[in-house]
Amino acid sequence: MRLLERARKEWFMVGIVVAIGAAKLEPSVGVNGGPLKPEITVSYIAVATIFFNSGLSLKTEELTSALVHLKLHLFIQIFTLAFFPATIWLFLQLLSVTSINEWLLKGLQTVGCMPPPVSSAVILTKAVGGNEAAAIFNSAFGSFLGIVVTPLLLLLFLGSSSSVPFTSIFSQLFMTVVVPLIIGQLAGYIRICEQTRAGFENLLQQQELFYSASYDIVR
C-alpha cells in the first residue's frame, strides 16, 4: 500500500521509467516516421500542450512578476550557457587521457553546450513546487538565446560549428512555446466555471506525463 502511494506521489518519475522501458522493448514505435509520429506529436503537440497548460494554470500577474527577476534570469542563463559548458570542458580534459572514444567526448561536449529542453525544465520545476513562471521564461529565452550562443560555444570548445536554420528554429519555438502560452492565458479569462477549469487541468496534467517523457526520450 505504501509502495502504491509512493508511486502515485512520484508519478512523473514512474512515467519516465515506464516510457524508457517501453522504448527499450519496442524502439521502432517512437522513431521518426513511426506509428507515434514523434516529429509531430512530440516536437510540436507535446511542447505546445505543456505550455498551454502552464498558461492556463498561471495567473498573468505571476508571469509578469517573473519577468522583473533580472538577477535570477542572468544567473540561470550564465550557469546554463557559460558555467556548465566550461565545467564539462574541464571534466572532458581529464577524460581525454583515458581510452574513451574521442567522438564520445565530443558528443558530451556538444550536449553540454545545448540550452535546456523547454518541456523538461518547466515540468520538473512544477513537480518540485518551484517558480514555474520563472522556469517558463528562462526555458523559452534560453532556447531562443541558444540559437546564437550554442554554435559559438561549439566553435570555442570543439573548433568547429555549422550553419543554423535560424528562421525555422525561431518559428518552431514561437509556435510551440509563445503562442500556446498566450492562448492558455486567454483561455483562463473565458473559462465557463472553476469546476470545468479544474477538471481540464487534471486532464492536461495526465497528458504532460506522456508528452514530457516521450519528448525527453526522443531528444
Helices (H) and strands (E) in the chain, counts: 13, 0
Q: How far is CA 215 from CA 11, 40, 62, 117, 163, in A?
A: 16, 11, 26, 9, 24
**Distance from chain centroid for Cα 180:** 15
pLDDT at site 193 = 47
Instruction: Supply 35's cell numbers.
Output: 506509428
- Region label for 33, one of left (φ > 0), alpha (ψ between -120 and 50) or beta (otherwise): left
pLDDT in tens, 55-101: 887 877 888 888 888 898 999 999 999 999 999 999 999 988 888 88
Instruction: Tell me the C-alpha distance between 39 and 215, whole Å.
Output: 10
0.85 surpassed by pTM: no
